[in-house]
Amino acid sequence: MKIGILSDTHMIKECIDKAIPYLKNCGLIIHAGDNFSDSKYIHNITKVGVMAVKGNCDFDNVEDELIFDIEDKVIFLCHGDKYNVKYGLNEIEIKAKSINADIVIFGHTHIPLKFEKDNILYLNPGSISLPREVDYKSFFIMNL
């Protein structure tokens, strides 16, 4: 399954619209928060199912983290602010291990990150709108 992964879109439609052609070809889109309303916008345009959580800039009455299975993989989705990811990944790693996650998807830092530790894949797609510490806007397409 092809999965589009993005975060921290911050209601900047012109940046979101540049990603739409890539996301239309996905079987699922995952949005790791900031702004949750953007996940609805993306779904309305692509007609692709979206799994999304709220971030620290969201006031929607929706979940701030989700645990779900895709193709026998346990995925933990959160924005990352509640796990202090701007100051290190120790807290989110502890959470991932406690729920036996295979894949952890988070945002909040606006910095793209992909690494594997203790057989857990950690993904932060960065930001397609307001990147930090890199000079490019980013999102991921993952084949699972």
The predicted pLDDT at position 57 comes to 95
Q: What confidence tens digit (pLDDT) does each residue in 9-64 have? A: 999 999 999 999 999 999 999 999 999 999 999 999 999 999 999 999 999 899 99
The residues near 61 (Cβ < 8 Å, ≥ 6 apart) are none
The predicted pLDDT at position 43 comes to 98
Q: Is the peptide bond before 124 cis (omega within 30 degrees of 0)?
A: no
Q: What confidence tens digit (pLDDT) does each residue in 60-84 have? A: 899 999 999 999 999 999 999 999 9
The answer to whether residues 101 and 120 touch, using CB atoms and an 8 Å cutoff, is: yes
The predicted pLDDT at position 120 comes to 98
Q: What confidence tens digit (pLDDT) does each residue in 80-127 have? A: 999 999 999 999 999 999 999 999 999 999 999 999 999 999 999 999
* Helix or strand holding residue 31 (H, E): strand 28-31
pTM (predicted TM-score):
0.97
**How many whole angstroms separate alpha carbon 21 and alpha carbon 28?**
14
Give me the domains of the chain, ranges plus CATH numbers. 2-143 (3.60.21.10)
Structural tokens at position 61: 């009455």
